[in-house]
A and B are shown apart, each in its own frame.
Chain A
Amino acid sequence: MSTETTATEPRNIDTPAQEPKTARRKLPVGVAIAKFGLPAILVIEIIVFSLLSPNLFPTASTLNTILINQSVAGILAIAVLIPLVIGEFDLSVGANLGVGAILSVGLSAFYGLPAWAGILLAIAVCSAIGLVNGLLITRLGINSFVTTLGIQTTLTGCVLWFTNGNVIYENVPPELIAIGTGNFFGIPLPVLIMVIIAIVMYYVLDQTPLGRFLYALGGSKEAARLSGLNVKTLTMLAFVLAGLLAGIAGVVLSAKLGSGNPTVGASFLLPGFAAVFLGATAFRPGTFNVLGTIFAVFVIATGIYGLNLLGVPFFVEPIFTGLVLVAAVAATRYLRKERVQ
């Protein structure tokens, strides 16, 4: 994901390290397998856990639990994905999710706003925070890692300020809770929301010129600029989208919990990154992509759920997620190298 092109490097360096090949190389076996590695791992997980735990694992309730629990994580992972596509980090989406979560409850609970207004306003604020990230990065030229790290910490503080550190249990608007518990032809609403977002973002990134532009920024900002793209606008757009999705994820989280929790947001950040990097090993190996990200979320979640059913202790979850993140990045690097050879 190295996208920086520094002006200080000497001119005229061609990319290939070796004598260039003239013949078309076949896709290396490793890459070909990796393409469908994630769906394969998911199937293997399901088979293994079903065999090891035939009474508890292969049930409708397992499916429901995993799907509903991971809907927020899935939306947030896509929020992490979009800035990564353009070669930037957004470390603030977790805290921004927290903002969405407490505002969607708090604006109604504290200030008596109608539920729909609270929800829309919450999402608007989160998008605006994305815009602030984008402005700081493009106008002041601060790098995205530092900018969003600072904003993340600031937001965490603001959320504690707004709630005084307490979970908002009272006066939670019933319409909000209805989103968390309702369903549409049997599909739980949180799952439906995640699926719609995934489809829309897949469409945008994979099928439209806009998606092509965003990937071009990830390739080389200067090449993108000299191809007529407005790099600043596109960068801001990516951060606004990340903010918007973090806000929606926050609303869905509160709807599911039936309360506004000021501390839970940040815990979604790292699993989000883990999913995006793991997702980049599949479908379009070496490229951040929506389909891979969503599959990665469920591969990780299914693994953890299955391990829990088998009785492994509670602390296994973060260990598992952390190792998956490192392994995924290593795998991505390896796949890229294999293609360089």
Chain B
Amino acid sequence: MSSGTALSITNLSKTFPGQRALSEFNFDLRPGEIHALVGENGSGKSTLIKCLSGYHVPDPGAEITVGDQEVAVPYGPAAARKHGLAFIHQDLGLVREMSVMENLALVRGYATGVGKHIKWRKEYRAAREMLAEFGHPEIDPDQLVSELPLATQTIVAVARALHDGDGAHVIVLDEPTASMPHKESQLLFEEVRRIAASGVAVLYVSHRLEEIFDLCDRVTAIRDGRNVGTHNIADLDYNSLVELIVGKSVTPFTPSDPATVQEAPAIEFDSLSGGIIEDASGHVKKGEIVGVTGLLGAGGTDLAKLLFGAIERTSGSVRVNGQLVTIASPNDAMEQGISFVPSDRAGEAVLARQSMVDNVMLVDSGRFFKGFRSRGREYGYVKKLLGTFNVKPLAPDQEIYTLSGGNQQKVVLAKWMNLAPEVLILDEPVQGIDIGAKTEVYNIVGAAAKNGAGVIISSSEIEDLTRLCHRVLIMRDGRIAAEVTGAAMNRENITALTFADEPSYAVKGEHS
């Protein structure tokens, strides 16, 4: 590995019809450093990565040097790999239903014998050796990728990328921890530090600013397609980093106000079981915001879905406004004034190919129905509604998938807040959305509580919960293991509680 720079980009621009996504971007990476790339959705981050990976053809005039070699621009994905640029995208690019060994072989090529038959035993040994060499002899080459924890999957993808060809000079990790629980992230960070120590330059893309302070040496912010500054991470604090990203100081979201909590409970549940939830009891008062957190698969999502009737209840009872109610389906829950914002936006929360009007009106379809649908009135109504939620662009007949994640989430919130819920349940509501939208989402939640709704928010953003909530429940293995409030409601304490007495840590692709 050479000294100096591992990657140098000069004058990189990319123009799409009607839009300049990257403007004269200059940037360099040193060997052995972990360099964060931060920016809001739409800032040009993905475009930059796609230009580097050879997916986009940049505008003429760009110069890219990898190691000592100048790379002829434009180049394709194969050339990028050949020059030692490795990319790990959020979906990892692994075939989940194939074994680790086969995933490795897909890129390296299979060990074949006469007639191109695959020599499985040789293949197995090669995979085993490679993983051991990479410092992970514990990974079984025969195991299906889908059975591994996400962090291990990421490690496999990284190992595969680094062993591709002559080895990589630069590895780009694109939001590797976006859906990873805290402990798994720590595992991955160790790996990233090890790789960097071996001389590879790591470009680390993330929305999670806390981990950038933990992990990275330098940080570059991108805004409106321009490099707005590269800094040593030690020279920045949280607020100055946010300011760099957003371009102005961001008003942090309004913290919880003890005065909004009323005496009467909005929802009470007793000995509730179903899904992985066992024997959960608790309540949320009107105007109260209760956080639920825990490791992935600890039960936050299941508790939320159970209360909404989306998971079958096997025992226990629920009271809404003091009345014993039967909630056997989401429809039952909605009739009781419960709204639920699911975590998996693309799969569970939106009808991607339908308009914002259709998405919002789906749960309020009777409003303007008088024998015929009044599209004009629906449009006007939804436009007004989405305006109050600051959705951009405010074009309600546009299909929802064309919006950024943050704006999609605001439409989903508008859809449910439109029903004036007495109980609002949210599951990972800020997952994958940028800082500005995050503040807006939290303020919407705060406003709902102020208006008297009982709010349950399941989230892995512990720091945010301590500010947003009146109380936080900690889930372990499907049980409510602890409850914190007041001074005990701090990040260190809650993090410790998520791990307490859990000797066998095994996450097996658990989902909802």
A: residues with CB less than 8 A from B are: 5, 7-16, 18-25, 206-209, 212-213, 215-216, 219-220, 222-230, 286, 339
Contact = CB atoms under 8 A, between A and B. Distances in A.
18 contacts: A5-B346, A10-B150, A13-B91, A14-B432, A15-B408, A20-B407, A22-B392, A207-B371, A207-B372, A213-B365, A216-B351, A219-B352, A220-B348, A220-B352, A222-B347, A226-B349, A228-B363, A229-B331
B498 interface: no
Nearest to B367: A209
Contacts of A229: 331, 362
Contacts of B346: 5, 13-15
Interface residues of B, number: 66
A209 B371 CA distance: 10
Contact of B146 (A8, A25, A222): A8
Given A14-B405, A216-B362, A20 B41 contact: yes
Contact of A9 (B330, B340, B347, B392): B347
B431 A11 contact: yes
B342 interface: yes
Nearest to A4: B347
Contacts of B41: 19-20
B310 interface: yes
B349 A7 contact: no
Interface stretch (B57-65, B236-244, B395-403): B395-403
Interface string B383-399: 00000000011010011
B348 A228 contact: no
A24 B391 CA distance: 13
A209 B369 contact: yes
A291 to B, nearest CB: 15
A19 B47 contact: yes
B170 interface: no
B398 A24 contact: yes
Given A8-B146, A216-B362, A15 B330 contact: no
A220 B363 contact: no
Contact of B330 (A22, A213, A227): A227
Nearest to A9: B347
B194 interface: no
B112 interface: no
B362 A227 contact: yes
B329 interface: yes
A11 B331 CA distance: 25
Given A15-B401, A207-B373, 18 more contacts: A8-B96, A11-B178, A12-B344, A13-B346, A14-B408, A18-B46, A19-B21, A20-B405, A20-B407, A21-B402, A208-B369, A219-B353, A220-B347, A224-B351, A226-B340, A226-B349, A228-B334, A228-B363
A223 B398 contact: no
Given A18-B46, A22-B393, A226-B349, A10 B179 contact: yes
Interface string B371-386: 1110000000000000
Contacts of A227: 330, 362-363
Contacts of B512: 7
A206 B393 contact: no
A212 B369 CA distance: 11
A225 B333 CA distance: 12
Contacts of A224: 351, 362
- Interface-centre pick from B361, B362, B365, B399 (highest chain A CB count, 10 A): B362
Contacts of B399: 339
Contacts of B353: 219, 286
B225 to A, nearest CB: 9
A329 B369 CA distance: 33
Contacts of A222: 347-348
A12 B431 contact: yes
B121 interface: no
A220 B91 contact: no
B90 interface: yes
Given A19-B41, A22-B42, A220 B351 contact: yes
A223 B330 CA distance: 11
B109 interface: no
- Interface-centre pick from A18, A20, A286 (highest chain B CB count, 10 A): A20
B158 to A, nearest CB: 16
B351 A223 contact: yes
B466 interface: no
Contacts of B361: 212
A225 B330 contact: yes
A302 to B, nearest CB: 31
B350 interface: yes
Given A16-B404, A226-B310, A8 B42 contact: no
B393 A23 contact: yes
B11 to A, nearest CB: 20
A16 B402 contact: yes
A197 B92 CA distance: 49
Contacts of A216: 351, 354, 358, 362
B365 A7 contact: no
A200 to B, nearest CB: 13
B347 A223 contact: yes
B352 A228 contact: no
Contacts of B137: none
B402 A230 contact: no
Given A212-B362, A226-B340, A20 B402 contact: yes
A319 B234 CA distance: 70
Closest 5 CB pairs of A and B: A219-B351, A209-B365, A20-B404, A11-B179, A5-B347
B345 interface: yes
B459 to A, nearest CB: 13
A155 to B, nearest CB: 33
Contacts of B18: 23
A95 B432 CA distance: 48
Given A19-B42, A20-B402, A226-B342, A219 B395 contact: no
Nearest to A20: B404
Nearest to A225: B330
